[in-house]
Amino acid sequence: MQTKSNREPLLSVKNLEVTYYTRAGEVRAVEDVSLDIFEGEVVGLVGESGCGKSTLGVALLRLVRSPGKITGGQIIFHGQDILKISENEMRELRGAHISMIFQDPMTSLDPLQRIDDHFVESIKAHEKHVSREEAVERAAELFDLLGIARDRLHDYPHQLSGGMRQRVMIGLALALNAELIVADEPTTSLDVLVEAQFLDLLKDLRHKYNMTLILITHNIGIVAELADRVAVMYAGKLVELADVMKLFEEPLHPYTEALLSSVPNIKLDKELKIMEGQPPDLLHPPTGCRFHPRCPYAMDICSQKEPPLVEVEPGRWTACWLHAEKETSQETREGAYA
């Protein structure tokens, strides 16, 4: 699904489902999500807090923690369903092929290990023939590219600034030539200036390395700057997927429309509107379309039946009855966030 071109996707998520088994009941944090990622593209993954972005991100590396479990679907990488491979094979895939960068780099860095040792350990874990000297040299060359002085390789993680640590995380992924990087809010902990520098670096590196990146963020501005395509999640579901320019010009899903209308600087010609209401409690999601209690266009069908995710034009997917049933859409759509 979601054909961007005739190319085969690098990663294909099919009907993925992730459930947290809590004392209060089952929380379906990711439900029936299907998404193709193509080599060399940056896909922004957006949506309000709690909609399942991080859960989807960690699921791609099979790192969902208890009480969470992947309860359905497939994740096809190089033609293989990685939900079916052994934990050993998965460990080999992580880092060397699919890497994850978290909001707080300290969660991935060992505070007792110097930065050069992180590179040596990580490179040698996947490429046993590489000597320590070669690994350190590879790290040093990456440091030149990342704009960090080579002598900082001897530092411990706490001696580096937050921005440097996040650069180190990118460096570790690049050292292994990871084919896919999943970055979960990589700039949220950085101040504005350091964030801007980090984004410039990412822009530069993505072309140099033909990086494939899934960028999870609250920040629509970052998506506008970096992403080729955007996937919008709401309450565990994928509700819209489109090329970034098209999505900003004409969001199809009312939730995307509301999301963009509540962000300053994207549409300066429009009045800023704050989205009313809260995302639903995933223990008891609304019936039908999960956005219906907040949707200004909601129709009778919306609370009764769940809208399917359909390709409304090549490469543009949305799950909304306004687009699944075109006749009802035109007159209902006038207004609300216009």
Ligand X SMILES: Nc1ncnc2c1ncn2[C@@H]1O[C@H](COP(=O)(O)OP(=O)(O)OP(=O)(O)O)[C@@H](O)[C@H]1O
Q: Which residues bind ligand X (CB under 6 A)?
A: 20, 22, 27, 29, 47, 49-55, 67-68, 218, 282
> Pick from ligand X, Mg ion, ligand SF4, none: which does 119 bind, CB < 5 to 8 A by kind?
none
- Six-digit token pair at 298? 């909601």
Query: Residue 122 interacts with Mg ion (CB under 5 A)?
Result: no
| Counts of helices then strands in the chain (DSSP H, E) | 12, 12
**Binder to Mg ion among 2, 12, 54, 256 (CB under 5 A)?**
54
Cβ atoms < 10 Å from Cβ of 88: 8
Task: Indicate the DSSP class of residue 139.
Answer: H
* Distance in angstroms (rounded) separating the CA atoms of residues 233 and 219: 14
Partner in contact with 282, chosen from Mg ion, ligand X, ligand SF4, none, beta carbon below 5 to 8 Å by kind? ligand X
| Alpha-helical regions (H) of the chain | 53-59, 87-96, 115-126, 132-146, 162-175, 192-208, 220-226, 244-249, 254-261, 300-304, 321-324, 326-333
| Residue 320 found at the interface with ligand SF4 (CB under 6 A) | yes
Taking a C-beta distance cutoff of 8 angstroms, is the pair 240, 47 a contact? no
Q: How many residues does the structure list for the chain? A: 338
Does residue 298 bind ligand SF4 (CB under 6 A)? Answer: yes
322 binds, among ligand X, ligand SF4, Mg ion, none (CB under 5 to 8 A by kind): ligand SF4
Residue 292 interacting with ligand SF4 (CB under 6 A): yes
44 binds, among ligand X, ligand SF4, Mg ion, none (CB under 5 to 8 A by kind): none
Closer to ligand X by Cβ: residue 189 or 329? 189
Tell me the closest approach of the beta carbon of residue 57 to ligand X, in angstroms. 7
- Collapsing DSSP to helix, strand or coil, 283 comes out as coil
Could you say whether residue 55 binds Mg ion (CB under 5 A)? Answer: no
Write out the residues near ligand SF4 by the rule CB under 6 A.
253-254, 289, 291-292, 295, 297-299, 302, 307, 320-322
